[in-house]
Amino acid sequence: MRPKKTILCVDNNEQALSVRTFLLETRGYRVIPALSSQHALEVVEQSVPGSIDLLLSDLIMPQMDGNELVRRAKQLHPGLPSMIVSGTVNAFDRAMHADVFLPKGASSAAEMIERIRVLVARKRGPKKAIHPTLTQKPEAHVYATAS
């Protein structure tokens, strides 16, 4: 069995955090919940690079918003994928440090899970190259020509 991917999930709303944690855990993820950006930053500081597979944060939080949290976390672990969610649909311009922004309510739980799956898969790096003749018929190859 493959090891579970770890998601640091941050939201100052306890109910939203517990719903998101439940959603992720039922999909097989290991979740580290944090009720504040400061707590989440401490988790990142104490973690070994690569041990957290995704930082999932709310945008609007007291003391330090999700964007600032992502910025600081990426200073500590530059390869850490991040996603910001916000109930303020037009707040995407405030989430510029995240890899993905999803508006709460405007996107389904299934869409969020799919985006998370893609971000976590991307973190693992590219898959090993497979020789094309093993996966395709020779006539399926497309050859580029220099112009």
What pLDDT is stored for residue 90 in this prediction?
Answer: 60
d(C-alpha 112, C-alpha 110), whole Å: 5
Read off the pLDDT of residues 121-132 as tens digits, 9 standing for 90 and up: 876 554 444 444
- Is residue 121 helix, strand or coil? helix
**142/28: higher pLDDT:** 28
Domain spans, the chain: 6-140
Q: Is the pLDDT of residue 52 over 90?
A: yes
The predicted model gives 66-82 an average pLDDT of 95
Mean pLDDT of the chain: 82
Q: Is the pLDDT of residue 6 over 80?
A: yes
Q: How confident is the model at residue 24 (pLDDT cuts 50, 70, 90)?
A: very high
Question: Within 13 Å, how many C-alpha atoms sit on residue 108's CB side?
Answer: 3
Give CATH superfamily name and number for 6-140.
Response regulator (3.40.50.2300)
What pLDDT is stored for residue 101 in this prediction?
Answer: 81
Q: Rounded to whole angstroms, what are the CA distances from 144 to 130, 138, 141, 147?
A: 19, 15, 10, 9
Q: Is the pLDDT of residue 143 over 70?
A: no
> What element of type H or E holds 44?
helix 37-46
**For the whole model, what pTM was predicted?**
0.78
Residue type present at position 110: A
Read off the pLDDT of residues 83-123 as tens digits, 9 standing for 90 and up: 998 876 565 566 678 888 888 766 788 889 999 999 998 76
d(C-alpha 131, C-alpha 4), whole Å: 29
Q: Torsion over CA of 35, 36, 38 and 39, rounded to 10 degrees?
A: 0
